[in-house]
A and B are shown apart, each in its own frame.
Chain A
Amino acid sequence: MKLRNLALATCLALVAIAATAETKEQFFPGLPYRTGPYAPNGVPWANGYSDYLKLVNAKGGINGVKIVYEECETGYDTARGVECYERLKGKHGGATVFQPLSTGITFALTEKAPGDKIPLITAGYGRSESADGSVFKWNFPLAGTYWLAADVIVQAIGKREGGMDKLKGKKIALVYHDSPYGKEPIALLQERSKMLGYELQLLPVTAPGVEQKATWLQVRQSRPDYVLLWGWGVMNSTALKEAQATGYPRDHMYGVWWSGAEPDVKDVGEGAKGYNAVAMQHGAEPQSKVVKDILAMVHDKGQGTGPREEVGQVLYMRGAMSAMLAVEGVRRAQERFGKGKWMSAEQARWGYENLALDQKKLDALGFAGVMRPISTSCVDHLGANWARIHTWDGKAWHFTSDWMQADEQVLKPLVRQTAAKYAAEKKLAPRDAADCQS
């Protein structure tokens, strides 16, 4: 009975695709924030995202299917983001995937996506527990979450101290943006502190974070061995300036990737020398092939979205990589549902759930050295748990660590536990094996 229904549904779906194929273009909506207090970080991301999609079109689309891109400015406002989502989701034949680029909007859309059957990619941000695909069917925090970032930073500090056991009795302070975004890593850091025995000090900074005198006074009083910076936009440069004023050594500071890009340190310049940040796979990659391709095939033709000199910077690469993952998911879906055909959001979701980007494919896409292979599954929507640390030398970001892997022993139980709590609150049944095939 069930099988017959399934077969029937597939047939109908195939007919529907056959009817709509050829004519349609694949629509990728964008929800950037090019205005507002976080614009310095939002703009390069959005430029990278749109440039990469243009590059795909310049190369002939996804197996021939061209891409349409349309933006709707959210200004990082959740209510506006929801409106944008509603506005774009039905345009150009239906949105393929949304990348909300804001923790608040991610939380709101997580409740809407299952009903609309549109996947969400939150590459490196969003809610960490959504890595559990058995509960979060439509969320894909591909290649990184805040928990992963926090775990890698703790490991990097451990390595620097000469072993994880040396962290016992150390004091680590978390200076964070007081919002769902900034609070995400706390759960993992507390878990780690229980295991390793370091003391965790939580220092919230009220958004947008231009006033941090009190916070750094606390830092001066308690003298933590390390400071983790979970800041954003103007908060980052302020924190670094305050650290400089307080005399806190910058090389003992570790930032998340939102605190580890050019706009964050540019204003501080030499003062931020030695400051570290976790790079979710990539850093600034001006030498990579994909950047050269974008320069040659998009910017040289006068179609570039942003200033040419920003191409290849950290957040620009983040946007490009996010776009690449979105496109490759569709390409993967085409392998199953028909090459060179338009993919519905539901079909694309299958693609994201079964991503298999090996090194060869990444090299071909121009991402050699930029990132490591990713493969997702029904249970694992994260796909890869590697990251690196890069350090600001006063002029540019340079990698100062090898690839590091987040500890599955820590991450997995925490993800499962939190996802289970979410499922219980929402009275969701975990997906069964049949659902995984669909």
Chain B
Amino acid sequence: MIYRENGQFKTTYRADQQIFPIAQDRLFILAALLLAFVVVPALASGYMFRAILIPFAIMSLAAIGVNILVGYCGQISLGSGAFMAVGAYGAYNFFVRIPDMPVIPALVLGGICAMVFGILFGLPSLRVKGLYLAVATLAAQFFSDWMFLRIKYLTNNSASGSVSVSGLQVFGLPIESDMNKYLFCLCLLAVIALLAKNLVRSAIGREWMAIRDMDVAAAVIGIRPMYAKLTAFAVSSFIIGIAGGLWAFIYLGAGEPAAFSVDMSFRLLFMVIIGGLGSIMGSFFGAAFIVLLPIALNQFLPVLAGLFSIEISTAGISHAELMIFGALIVWFLIVEPHGLAKLWSTGKQKLRLWPFPH
């Protein structure tokens, strides 16, 4: 009744090709942006900012990056943690070595480092496919672990290999307070998400999807596999690299290789699979699922146990959290193998018929 496109006539190609052709969708996105940029900062507490919203924003960004590679181009990658690490350490090096380096160029340069690294480790994708490629990209993971633990230059000769920066600022505005940090991450997320959305709708995005769906057929109709695959690696690792810089310096405060371990790669891959392969929206859902759910469970379980006046130990909660989380992943994958994004679109489809389903 409310959500339907009846009566919305497109009279120009422009109007027909916009990201959200339905007015209700545009309104919804506007409302979501308004919520994220205005309402949330006005209401959120320090804990919400620092422990929930900032990691969620950064992880969404990383998930968008992974989704471009895995979801749109179909190249399974387990090197995402490495791309994050390269982005973080790259940004760190530019930040420390060049005096008065503003933060955005440093992050972008870090992203470019990750991009080069990603293209390099994307080369095997021209020969190997599927699960074999996943194994090949693991090499990136181990290589970055080795690189940032061993090459002292990259950590500015820090004794322990842990790096941190301070005095971050954008156009003279310091990124110190929780709200500034959040808004900074959110701005980057919004801009990059918009770019990514447009990219996957463009010619190059269609090339990626053609490669994903059937690479032989794609090659036959004139898509260059090398170009398509390597651009996917480049764009994806660039975005992941920026997310890595944010993760190390905005969220954690200090970066170390262990923060970007193979564990991180797996988590990013799960985000994309659970959120929905080949969907920008799904990246947000996946990030929310993987980042927020464990924390929510961890806080909710003691409360729940308290209702029945049972006292669980810290270790007990943590074990229960892992078990429930694992069970939920399995459950979601059984119920909706196409990810949370599919649930979202099913919901929209249902809403069109509501309240008179036929």
Contact = CB atoms under 8 A, between A and B. Distances in A.
B177 to A, nearest CB: 9
B256 A35 contact: no
A78 B252 contact: yes
A73 B315 contact: yes
A183 B159 contact: yes
A111 B254 contact: yes
A71 B314 contact: yes
B259 A34 contact: no
Given A79-B252, A115-B176, A86 B162 contact: no
Contacts of A207: 258
Interface stretch (B34-42, B44-52, B132-140, B216-224): B44-52
A109 interface: yes
Contacts of A73: 298, 314-315, 317-318
Contacts of A344: none
Contact of A35 (B50, B145, B159, B318): B318
Interface string A401-430: 000000000000000001000000111100
A88 to B, nearest CB: 10
B50 A180 contact: no
Interface size class of A (residues with CB under 8 A): 35 or more
Contacts of A319: none
A251 interface: no
A111 B166 contact: yes
Given A35-B315, A115-B176, A418-B159, A427 B166 contact: yes
Nearest to B55: A79
A90 B254 CA distance: 22
What does DSSP make chain A's interface, helix, strand, loop or mixed? Answer: helix
A179 B256 contact: yes
Contacts of A104: 162, 254, 256, 258-259
B156 A78 contact: no
Contacts of B318: 34-35, 73, 75
A354 to B, nearest CB: 27
Interface of A: 32, 34-35, 39, 43, 46, 71-73, 75, 78-79, 82-83, 86-87, 90, 103-104, 107-112, 115, 127-129, 178-181, 183-184, 186-187, 204, 206-207, 418, 425-428
Given A72-B314, A183-B161, 12 more contacts: A72-B298, A82-B51, A86-B47, A90-B47, A104-B259, A108-B253, A109-B253, A179-B161, A179-B258, A180-B160, A180-B162, A183-B149
Interface of B: 46-47, 50-51, 55, 96, 145, 149, 156, 159-162, 164-167, 176, 251-254, 256-259, 295, 298-299, 313-315, 317-319, 322
